[in-house]
Chain A
Amino acid sequence: MTAPQRVSYRMESTLDSVNKAEEMAEQQAARAGLDEDTRSGFSMAVREAMINAVLHGNAYDTAKRVNLSFEQNGRELIVTINDEGRGFVPEEVPDPLAPENLLKESGRGIFLMRAFMDEVRFRKLEPGTEIILIKRLPGSDLDREEAST
């Protein structure tokens, strides 16, 4: 079994951080052996989680930081992103696929994270929110279990 590998970054609440995180996600996904389509979805989910932290969480506040980490344990690629914002209740975010919400300009970020990741978890911090994104790696035990069910 591969020893877990983890890298962490403390980033400013800027658009530049969102773009950098997306690039790093693409590199991490390539290193983990994900195919091009899966890589693209993975990096988009990370981008959306970063937008959530930088824009909706920290509201571009220069005094607040976003912590981003990637962990690869041989079975999964785990991304953890936390902000220092006011926090939110994920269950209260309206369903963007509901007919009355289809033409809304915002509110699709969490939906996209869930669409491209195997698992998305939220944890309330004091202050802020932590988002954990999990992508199972092809050929891992977890991936095989899922395929057989």
Chain B
Amino acid sequence: MSMKASNRQVDGITIVDLSGRITLGEGSVTLREAIKDLLGKGQKKILLNLGDVSYIDSSGIGELVSAFTSVRNQGGELKLLHLTKKVHDLLQITKLYTVFDVKDDEAAAIGAFSR
């Protein structure tokens, strides 16, 4: 299953709803392009909704890290929302869980962005 990404705006925050697999090849490229596109439009407060992401491999993890640093380097903020158990465990063992700002509730996540 390939990955899909769609955007919506809530209170000035761009929520990117991702679904499918973020893996080497198509999935990683889709995420990279989505982030590049948002940053190009000056949308720097990004909430990645991973609730429908079933699987991430090392390339996908790298792409999440790349998204995080790209947004941060441009003075923005990137947070993660609704991790599945599989993705949660993967971020735990790679020690990235504490690097990312991970949220379980969309409204709380929106409120956590700096204004």
Contacts and interface: CB of A to CB of B under 8 A. Distances in A.
Interface stretch (A80-88, A103-111, A131-139): A103-111
A105 B94 contact: no
A51 B94 contact: no
Interface in A43-77: 44, 47-48, 51, 55
Contacts of A112: 57-58, 93-94
Q: How many B residues touch the partner, as a band? A: 10 to 19
Q: Interface range on chain A: under 10, 10 to 19, 20 to 34, or 35 or more?
A: 20 to 34
B86 A51 contact: no
Contacts of A97: 94-95
B36 to A, nearest CB: 14
Contacts of B69: 103
Contacts of A108: 58, 61-62, 94
Contacts of B24: 15, 18, 51, 55
Interface string A88-104: 00000000110000111
A99 B108 CA distance: 29
A106 B58 contact: yes
A75 B108 CA distance: 48
Q: Which 6 A-B residue pairings sit nearest by Cβ, starting from the closest? A: A105-B62, A108-B58, A109-B58, A15-B25, A105-B66, A97-B95
